[in-house]
Structure 1
Amino acid sequence: MNQNLVIALAQVNPTVGDIDGNLARARAVRAEAAAAGADLVVGGELLVAGYPPEDLVLKPAFIDRVEAAVEAFARETADGGPAFLLGAPWQMRGRLFNAALLLDGGRIAAVTRKYDLPNYGVFDEKRVFAAGPLPEPIPFRDARLGVLICEDMWTAAATAALAERGADLLLVLNGSPFEFDKPDVRLDLARARAAESGRPLAYVNLVGGQDELVFDGDSFVIDASGAVMARLESWDERMAVTRWRARDGVWVCEPAAVAARPVGEEAIFAALVTGLRDYVDKNGFPGIVLGMSGGIDSALSAAVAVDALGADRVRLVAMPSPYTSRASVEDAAETARLLGAKLESVSIEPAMQAFGHMLAGLFAGRPADETEENIQARARAVTLMALSNKFGHMLLTTGNKSEMSVGYATLYGDMCGGYSVLKDVYKTTVFALARWRNRERPAGALGPGGRVIPERVITKPPSAELKPNQTDQDTLPPYDELDAILRGLVEDERSIAEMTAGGFDETTVRRVWRMLHRAEYKRRQAPPGVKITHRAFGRDRRYPLTNRFTDLA
């Protein structure tokens, strides 16, 4: 007996809290799928609410709105068009679940509740959701659907239960945030579940940015042997129709388009563009304002901003001081010219002089030190925030993960801003991204092709230029050494002994360890920014501010 099923995979970019907007996207996808003859549309995890909704789901009024909106959408499926399997927070018998709802025939035909709730890193679902039971297959047309919700695919129990209870194929609704090495992890886990169950698997992920998280899509279908039968393009809202057939009860997906997956610098750059674009647009900012120092961090941040928003929404501001070199002034101007963005200039020397006069009596008899350097950084922050307040543009800060790790940043100075696009990007990766962007124009970029960052910006020694002849390496180890140590201490939580056993100089490791732990109070006050690693500062890595533990013995 031959059976057929047409399943549309809907890779959607929701906005947390925008129930009507998210369901409008779902309706548009359903109409497109209906025109293609689909029987079923599969969307991502918590599509109705947006992901992650955090404590928003604890508001009864919000859950009531979700329920009413889903029930209204369910009634629309009485039109003979495709059913829709989508994610929503759902209340049952006084308990709130992360659920997948099958809308079919004008009603909510089935509900699957997430069994395995993640409670690590950026995930704290046990805080707001109850865990569901092991899932049961859902009868649909001629098939029995095995529905998993994100983390349910990461572990084996839910898949085993579905296979034992007769599921024909596995459908996985995901809200899986991007990390630069995560796509292979997802595919390996999907292949493990397919192999264990002997079933094909369709994986549907969200796409887009939500606060610090970015979702890359990368939705796919694999057969029971793990071969990729279809893959949607990453970093873009997409709908793909897949055709399934069964012979003697064994379901297979016919081969479809398999999009290439971005890797390396291409994937990281796409994550930065997506995170910034959606943060700015979803929060209703007209654009961004950014301080241009002539250095590589501000140049790369400007390039990402222009690619994400277009040059007309990016306001670049140079703020020279008496210590700003002529080369930096020229490099800031040349970067703006290459990007096609306007550059304005505001000298901070009058502010420096004013603060000098204000504080002269209190500082009498004391030599100049980092205090005066920090006043310069804070004068720039006040200038940029004034422009942000006056014109409505969000201030984009430009610090990178290397600097934030060791506190090489001025609180209320260069840390000031509404968003930090390089927050989780080490300095060595900043250099790599700048070189990559000069070679490649990303898909969908609104910025120009060709070189966008002057070569001198990439090759000159990095400097804060807060005093004469200053370079970062006056204070920090070389960045290739610093970043390697930080990856061990931050990402891998390795001890000083383990680091030195791995070949690093013990004195340098100890110095970096001290700087890392002393800077925790600064990081607590840093703006949000795009997460690209598995151990980003913030919700991934939460250390106490008052902390007497030491690894220096």
Structure 2
Amino acid sequence: MVRPRIALAQIDTCVGDVEGNAAAVRSWARKAADAGADLVVFPEMTITGYPIEDLALRASFRRGAEAALQATAKALADEGLGELAVLVGTVGERETSHGARPTNQAVLIRHGVVEARYNKHHLPNYGVFDEFRIFASGEDPLVIDVAGARFGVVICEDIWQDGGPVTQVHDVDALVVLNGSPFEEGKGHVRTDLAMRRARQVRAPVVYVNLVGGQDDLVFDGGSFVAGTDGTLLATAPQFVEHLLVWEIGEPGPQVPPLDPDEEIYRAIVTGLAGYVRKNGFRSVTLGLSGGIDSALTAAIAADAIGGENVVGVSMPSQHSSGHSKDDAEDLAKRIGADYRVQAIKPMVDAFEQQMDIQGVTAENLQARVRGVILMAISNREGHLVIAPGNKSELATGYATIYDAGSIGGFAPLKDVDKSRVWALARWRNNHAVDRGEVPPIPESSITKPPSAELRPGQVDQDSLPPYDLLDEVLDAYVEHAEGRTELLARGFDPAVVDRVLQLVDRAEWKRRQYPLGPKVTALAFGRDRRLPVTSRWREP
């Protein structure tokens, strides 16, 4: 019986870095050959990075990607890897009645040349995807022969839609799927269940290779696997790391245990932040440390993403800042090894108040915005990326001063994490440290004390918002599931709470439009997933 060995290369790419991505293909192809692989499969759009969005429409970009692809084929042969079959994703081109159009393409490289091309049939146009607007769809199936075995080839969405190329694949030893499937909580089981259905359909294992790494507000978790026709997983790869999974047809392969749900979310955020920092040329980040839970968790995530020594934490106390908040901020910085600084805001606030009559909420907002100005000044002076510690509950309700230290900057790690989950993630991270015999990064008092912006004496968040457990439940129904006021009342929520929350959410759309990018980790994130007009008079009846 013929038993080819397949290597699943889940690698981290960068959009537009066609030379760097091509170099990664050569490097990982060498690793696959050293592992005895006959076929190595890379993710969707490997040469170009993914998603390329409107870069695909530039003929110059398509030419650059094709040149990198051809150079890769030649280099592999020159390096003695000509016999290795390499399946890799890139941007292609197809003539249509409207002229040359880009395609999402899988390419077979062997013997120094491109032997076959396959254009993705089903182009998603929902959620974070807009491929239908960008690409032309393919029409023809592809089956390749490697080491005496036959492999059907499809790309990502092609297995999510019934019909199409999967129904055109017959008598194969495996169905190979190149994927750029973004992470969201709970999606892993959906992928594997789908792959198992397709495996039964084509009567052959499904080899699912997924991208890994952060790209703007998307996170790709890897988690590549092989699904058998009997409903079992034959081999699995870890999440959130580059990895080469080697599987021999007809044999069981390596298995890794699934991650705890909180760990999965935490590692997704770390991956997203690390990718954004590195791929945009930064080496360090700065943020305000208030002593509260949001900034504490954000700082811990940053330390895990790029190293605590590359985190600049700035305490910016006001006359209303409590002693424990300042102590907790300093304690956190010591725990993660951050560069800790103190910059009092009172002299700056006083200067404003000497020039203008500022009172009440205006005075509170001024304090918050001065903190944002300080962080941006440090960023401009020293080259750090400012990161915002605001969470999804605040973003949903507009419970943040725009341009303040909680919302200003280039990236917001907790943008898609509600307040209730913030506490859960902080608990998980501290417990993880204890399990490893390490010092927990987040001070216990930052987790247990009532959250407060500390912009006036005795202020706590619950002065303005329902309790966070109740608030997040209402927000989940209204935002995530698009339920209206009638449906929320039918659930049994208090009418006063419903009306207050809906009013806050509807009025805050303009703030959300100006919020930094942040990693998508739920099924519906603000930004790519939820698109509502800023100017709208619709209110839930």
- 3-state DSSP class of the match of 2:185? coil
Q: What secondary structure is seen at the aligned counterpart in 2 of 1:4?
A: coil
Q: How does 1:69-80 map to 2 (within 5 A)?
A: 69-78=68-77, 79=80, 80=82
**1:126 corresponds to which residue?**
132
Distance 1:503 1:233 in 2: 42
Please, which of 471, 494, 506 is the counterpart of residue 505 of structure 1? Answer: 494
Question: Cα distance, 1:156 vs. partner?
Answer: 2.4
Given the two structures, how large is their TM-score scaled by the length of structure 2? 0.96
Q: Distance in 1 between matches of 2:360 and 2:245?
A: 60
Could you say if the C-alpha distance between residues 131 and 99 of structure 1 is closer, same or farther in structure 2, counting changes exceeding 3 Å?
same
Alignment match, 1:90: 92
The aligned residue for residue 272 of structure 2 is 275
Aligned match of 1:248 = none
Cα contact 1:84–1:102 (8 A) shared by 2: yes
Report SS of the residue matched to 1:434: helix
| 2:259 pairs with 1:262 | yes
Please state how far the C-alpha of 1:134 moved relative to its aligned partner: 4.8
Residue 432 of structure 1 aligns with which residue? 424
For 2:50, the equivalent position in structure 1 comes to 51
CA contact (8 A) 1:148 1:158 kept: no
Structure 2 unmatched ranges of 5 or more = none
Change (3 A) 1:442 1:303: farther
1:532 is the counterpart of 2:521: yes
Aligned-partner Cα distance in 1 for 2:104–2:19: 19
Q: CA deviation at 1:483?
A: 0.3
Amino acid at match of 2:320: Y
Letter in 2 for 1:537: F
Determine the C-alpha separation between the residues in 2 that align with 1:340 and 1:110. 52
Return the match for 1:223 from 207, 228, 231: 228
SS in 2 for 1:419: coil
Moved more, 316-325 or 79-88: 79-88
Check conservation: 1:156, 1:193, Cα contact below 8 A: no
Q: Distance in 1 between matches of 2:332 and 2:75?
A: 52
| Aligned: 1:100 with 2:106 | yes
1:20 Cα shift?
0.7
Shift, 1:340, TM fit: 2.1
Deviation at 1:194, TM superposition (A): 1.1
Give the secondary-structure state (helix, strand or coil) at the position aligned to 2:521: coil
How far did residue 518 of structure 1 move?
Answer: 0.5
The answer (yes or no) to whether the contact 1:6–1:243 under 8 Å persists in 2 is yes
219, 222, 235: which is aligned to 1:214? 219
Matched residue, 2:17 = 18
- AA at the equivalent of 2:16: G
User: Per-residue deviation at 1:136?
Assistant: 3.4
Distance 1:391 1:512, change over 3 A: same
Out of 156, 161, 171, the residue aligned to residue 176 of structure 2 is: 171
Q: Distance in 1 between matches of 2:298 and 2:166?
A: 46
Matching residue of 1:117:
123
Which sections of structure 1, spanning at least 5 residues, go unmatched? 245-251
Match of 1:416 in 2: 408
Structure 2 residue corresponding to 1:334, chosen from 331, 354, 364: 331
1:309 aligns with 2:311: no
Amino acid at match of 1:86: V
Normalised TM-score (structure 1): 0.94
Moved over 4 A (4+): none
Give the letter aligned to residue 88 of structure 2: L
Asked whether 1:381 is paired with 2:390, we answer: no
Instruction: Name 1:345's counterpart in structure 2.
Output: 342
Give the 3-state SS of the residue equivalent to 1:229 in structure 2.
strand
**d(CA) in 2 for partners of 1:381, 1:487:** 29
The aligned counterpart of 1:180 is 185
- Report the alpha carbon displacement of residue 161 of structure 1 after superposing the two structures with TM: 2.2
* CA apart distance, 1:241: 1.6
Q: Distance in 2 between matches of 1:205 and 1:296?
A: 33
Q: CA RMSD in A?
A: 1.5
Q: Is the 8 A contact 1:439 1:450 kept in 2?
A: no
One-letter identity of the residue aligned with 2:348? A
Deviation at 1:263, TM superposition (A): 2.9
